[in-house]
Homo-oligomer: A and B are copies of this chain.
Amino acid sequence: MEKEISQAVISRLPRYFRYLEELRLSGVERISSQELSKLMKVTASQIRQDFNNFGGFGQQGYGYNVEFLYQEIAKILGLDRKHNFIIIGAGNLGRALGNYLNFERRGFLFKGMFDQNPDLIGTTVRGTTVMPMEELEDFIRNNDIEIAVLTIPKTGAVSVADRLASCNIRGIWNFAHVDLNLPGTIQVENVHLSDSLMKLSYNLTE
């Protein structure tokens, strides 16, 4: 797009989206930045600045139409499209994510699961059979896979990420506890659970 939106803004969008969905479900039609500000505990100024990064969604003297704003943010976040994803690593976490139905509701479609462990290959997760790693590249190419979820130990993660990079994968949702250095064309979103737990631990210690 025109000028780059800062990641600080992007990080706040899902939270706006969540509140707007709730407002919408409870039948609220319009909301001012000030009301939303009280609800979300952020400044009204920030709300207006954030939304204005994407053009004017509001109307002076009225505020924002909840339904419209909800839909616009959905579009910005790419939730108006389908995203096919696979999960690599059929361990506890991988299976938990495969079974999480809410992702479907947002347009993220679970298409397949891979593992290198012969004991896991052939088992099923929500109707999908776990495939061997050898079939990874072909599957991605033939099934229009956009996102790979990495739920494998960090030892294997870097080489698997390189294999993903060599296919047409667009994004990696990385749960492996290691930094992936990939070309800028591939988006990596890290979820480092133990980092998060350590942050909590720090704050407890204070």
Contacts and interface: CB of A to CB of B under 8 A. Distances in A.
A117 to B, nearest CB: 15
Contact of A147 (B15, B170, B204, B206): B204
A192 interface: yes
Count class of interface residues, chain A? 35 or more
A14 B198 contact: yes
A142 interface: no
Contact of A14 (B79, B96, B108, B194): B194
Oligomeric state, in copies: 2
Interface string A108-140: 100000000000000000000000000000000
Given A18-B177, A92-B99, A97-B193, 18 more contacts: A1-B206, A10-B199, A13-B202, A15-B192, A15-B195, A77-B198, A78-B202, A78-B204, A79-B201, A83-B204, A92-B95, A92-B96, A92-B100, A93-B93, A100-B193, A102-B194, A103-B197, A106-B197
Q: Give the 9 A-B CB pairs with smallest separation, nearest first.
A: A92-B96, A78-B205, A14-B195, A189-B200, A78-B201, A96-B96, A14-B198, A187-B203, A93-B96
